[in-house]
Amino acid sequence: MNQMLEVRNLSKIHGRGCPRCFDSTGPDMDTNICAHCGSVVAAHGVSFDLRAGEILGIMGESGSGKSTLVKTLFFDETPTVGEVLFFDGERQWDLFALNAAEQRWLRNHRFGMVYQNPHLGLNFKVSAGGNIAERLLMSDLSHYGEIRERARRLLARTEVLPERMDESPKKFSGGMQQRVQIAKALATQPPLLFLDEVTTGLDLSVQARILDLILEIQQELGTAMIVVTHDLGVIRLLAGRTIVMKYGRVIESGLTDQILEDPQHAYTQRLVASSL
């Protein structure tokens, strides 16, 4: 399969940072807070590859830096150092060397994001259809009827009742809100989707149906995905390959089956054991 994303040596420090930040944080130090300057090392030296159409899982507990990682890739946050190449057909984008307008273009046209908190991904002041329209309008579609039709189809695909498309997502259940987010993320048919704890906090039955939906979409459209979660069940179901993070570092990576059957790192072993 073709290479889609090449993440090299990505680091993110919240706070002022100091020369001793990296040495004084990480799994071995059992913290992500630098004892010398109080900065938080959310991620350090993270490298991985993603191939077209693949689902990569990023697993870790809160504070592991897994959310920071996808937010950085989606340009919600700026990395402290690191390089990411995005291979998009003939084009190759050096993500953090782009200007703001190019980054915005990629966000709108080539990437999609589904947040754990629907408030981050949806504008609750406009209707569900309007949320999708906003993304379509960013890609210069200017025919009202066509926008509406596309929004209706996307909502239908993600199993949101079309007759509710003119309501605010504020009135929707948590599961429905995630479906609207997924529809919105898919609106411009991006080849790469980021999913950040999308099923956390939902009922188990709702979780299962959303995970099914994600799998179906991946199979239908061949969308590559990075799935961030603390839930081994989600990883087991969705991800072909997985990386495990703790205190901002990658401590283990490989095929998901391998990691779940035969975890090498003590931390992963504990995670796997605790979920059995």
Partner 1 sequence: MGYVAIKGGGRAIEGAAGAAEALRAAEGEDGRPLTLAAIEHQLRLLTSRVVSEGGLYHPRLAALALKQMQGDTLEAAFALRAYRSTKPRLLETPVQDTGRMRLIRRISSAFKDIPDGQMLGPTFDYALRLMRFDLAGESPETFRGIARRFLSQVPETDLPDTFPKVVDALRAEGLLPPAGQPREPAFDITREPLVFPVPRSAALATMARAETGSLLAIAYSNMRGYGDVHPTIAELRVGSLPVMLPHPVTGEPTEAGEVLMTECEVVAMYEEQGSSSVAGGRKPGATEDEGESGGPPVFTLGYGACFGHNETKAISMAILDRALQKGMRDGPSNPSEDPEFVLLHVDGVDSMGFANHYKMPHYVTFQSDMDRLRTTRTKAGGKAAGRNDEGVQS
Partner 2 sequence: MNPGYELPQNEAGYSFGFLDEYAKREVRRTVLKAICIPGYQTPYASREMPMGRGFGTGGLQVTLSLVGPGDTVKVIDQGADDSVNAVNLRKFIELTCPHVDTTEHTRDATLIQSRHRVPEMPLTEAQVLVLQVPYPDPLVVVEPSEARRKTMHGEGDYSRLLTKLYEDIVQFDEITISHRYPTRINGHYVIDPSPIPRYDVPQLHQNRALILLGAGREKKIYAVPPYSQADPLAFDDVPFRTEDFTDEYGRRRACARCGAIDSFLDELIDDDGARIWQCSDSDYCNERLAAAGKQEVARA
CA separation for the pair 228, 113 (Å, rounded): 11
- 37: which 2 tokens? 């300057």
Does position 213 interact with partner 1 (CB under 8 A)? The reply is no
142 binds, among partner 1, partner 2, none (CB under 5 to 8 A by kind): partner 2
Among 37, 138, 141, 272, binds partner 1 (CB under 8 A): 37
| Smallest separation, CB 274 to partner 1 (Å) | 19
129 binds, among partner 2, partner 1, none (CB under 5 to 8 A by kind): partner 2
CA separation for the pair 207, 184 (Å, rounded): 19
101 binds, among partner 1, partner 2, none (CB under 5 to 8 A by kind): partner 2
| Candidate segments 33-41, 144-152, 181-189, 204-212, binder of partner 1 by CB under 8 A | 33-41
| Smallest separation, CB 20 to partner 1 (Å) | 10
CA angle, 123 then 129 then 134, to 5°: 55
| Smallest separation, CB 115 to partner 2 (Å) | 18
Does position 42 interact with partner 1 (CB under 8 A)? The reply is yes
Q: Which candidate, 185, 79, 71, 77, places its Cα nearest to that of 122?
A: 185
CA separation for the pair 220, 248 (Å, rounded): 34
- 276: which 2 tokens? 């059995």
Number of residues binding to partner 1, judged by CB under 8 A: 19
Helix axes 174-186, 204-221, angle to 10 degrees: 10
Q: Which one, 10 or 133, has the nearer CB to partner 2?
A: 133
Does position 40 interact with partner 1 (CB under 8 A)? The reply is yes
Q: Please report, as ranges, the residues that interact with partner 2 according to CB under 8 A.
A: 100-101, 104, 123, 126-127, 129-130, 133-135, 137-138, 142-147, 166
For residue 251, CA distances in Å to 112, 230, 266 come to 27, 15, 10
Q: Count Cα neighbours of 110 within 13 Å in the Cβ-side half-sphere.
A: 19
Does position 10 interact with partner 1 (CB under 8 A)? The reply is no
| Smallest separation, CB 138 to partner 2 (Å) | 4
Pairing between β-strand 81-88 and β-strand 91-94 as defined by DSSP bridges:
antiparallel
Determine the 3-state secondary structure of 238 from DSSP: helix
64 binds, among partner 1, partner 2, none (CB under 5 to 8 A by kind): partner 1
| Smallest separation, CB 88 to partner 2 (Å) | 20
Q: Which one, 200 or 258, has the nearer CB to partner 1?
A: 200
Beta-strand (E) ranges in the chain?
A: 3-14, 40-51, 55-59, 81-88, 91-94, 111-114, 192-196, 224-229, 241-246, 249-255
In the complex, the residues that contact partner 1 under the rule CB under 8 A are 14-16, 18, 32-33, 36-38, 40, 42, 62-65, 67-68, 77, 247
